[in-house]
């Protein structure tokens, strides 16, 4: 393990093993500031900490949608939905 890996930096190819996404998605996340990166001798490395944060944010956004879908599947409607349907 070299110094970059010990510090939590991985090449995009290595990061793709952790989060399978296209190379262009990684560059898009870097460009819009959602993923921290450094460039060393022409190679791009991403911060595994920022990648974990990106994953956690994505999961947090999906969680409420999953919960509401489960509620609908079980026939549990929100109070507002019950009022509107009455």
pLDDT in tens, 68-85: 565 566 555 444 444 444
Q: Quick one: pLDDT at residue 57?
A: 85
Element (H, E) at 50: helix 48-73
Cα(72)–Cα(70) distance, integer angstroms = 5
Q: How far apart are CA 23 and CA 21, in angstroms?
A: 7
What is the per-residue pLDDT across 47-58, written as a single tens digit (0 to 9) for each?
999 999 988 888
Q: What is the mean pLDDT of the chain?
A: 78
- Cα(31)–Cα(68) distance, integer angstroms: 33
Query: Rounded to an integer, what distance in angstroms lies between the CA atom of residue 55 and that of residue 52?
Result: 5
């Amino acid at each position: 393990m070299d110094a970059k890996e010990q510090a939590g930096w991985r090449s995009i190819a290595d990061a793709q093993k952790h989060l399978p996404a296209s190379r262009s998605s990684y560059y898009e996340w870097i460009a819009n500031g959602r993923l921290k990166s450094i460039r060393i001798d022409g190679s791009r490395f991403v911060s595994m900490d920022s990648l974990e944060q990106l994953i956690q944010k994505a999961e947090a956004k999906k969680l409420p949608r999953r919960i509401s879908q489960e509620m609908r599947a079980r026939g549990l409607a929100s109070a507002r939905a019950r009022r509107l349907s009455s």
